[in-house]
Amino acid sequence: MSLEGKLALITGGGRGIGKAIALDFAKYGADIVVAARTTSEIDSVANEIQNMGRRSLAIPTDMTDERSIQNLVSKTFEAFGKIDILVNNAGVSTVAPVIDMKTEDFDQVIAVNLRGMFICTRETLRVMKKQKQGCIINISSGFGIEGQPMLSAYCASKAGILLFSDSLSKEERKVKVYVINPGLIETKMTESLGGKKESPEVISKIATYLALPENKFPSGMVIKQLQLDNIKAAVAPLIQGRTFPNWNTLFQEVKSKLDAKILGNIEKYKVILSYWFKEYL
């Protein structure tokens, strides 16, 4: 499995999930363009990628500014001559009850999370259509499926990403479109939230699989991190200290010990499970 020769453009790539995806893609052989507002952060990520022996370019970008996004895509194409993978990860949030929320705060969240994602997708899609191939991965959230108090703007923006991506996947045949719905991930945005948080590398692992040529998921698929985590939580205790020749052998070993919900999720995600359980194979 390799991303050798691929060029990935990642927004919100200076820290958190975006940084983790950028580094994992580079580990698999991709060259990376990292975009975000904070120049020092994306410069640091680009240097780290270059030290891995991959090409990387940091482009400061304001996701609320159409011209800035257009500049990002045009500079990427000028430097590399193609864009194989787009990861729309840039995101912001505001915490307030609806009754107290300022219009400008709501607008900022929608501008970055939804409008900026749309513009970046549209501009990149024009490159991918000429190439007759490409992969777009949009980072949504579990909060885009189930609303949360005090986060109405964020939830609305992430719900919008889900339906936007679904629509796009039905328009395009040559370009694959996927959505990842993370759970609670350890990032700057979630610092004030309670609950158990997972490493951003959990999401980068999913994104890498989606970007690989070996990916067998149909375009339009929504990957829910919590469902994959639940599969692993159910299966891993049953196979500790053991290895198997392949996923099918592993599955036959544990199948009778799993409940119907886990079995349903295994059927849904079966094409990724050899990759997800590779430490046992």
Supply the residues annotated as catalytic.
Answer: 154
Nearest to 116 by CA among 70, 151, 150: 70
| Residue 49 near residue 56 (C-beta atoms within 8 A) | yes
Radius of gyration of the chain (CA): 19
Residue 97's closest CA among 184, 155, 182?
155
Distance CA 134, CA 6 (A): 10
Taking a C-beta distance cutoff of 8 angstroms, is the pair 273, 248 a contact?
A: no
Burial 194-226, CB ≥16 within 10 A → b, else e? eeeeeebebbbbbbbbbbbeebebebbbbbbbe
* Residue 81 φ/ψ region, left for φ over 0, alpha for ψ in the -120 to 50 degree band, beta for the rest: left
Phi and psi, residue 169, nearest 5°? -65, -25
Distance of CA 182 to the CA centre of its chain: 8
- Dist CA 59 CA 39 (whole Å): 8
| Alpha carbon distance 99, 65 (integer Å) | 28
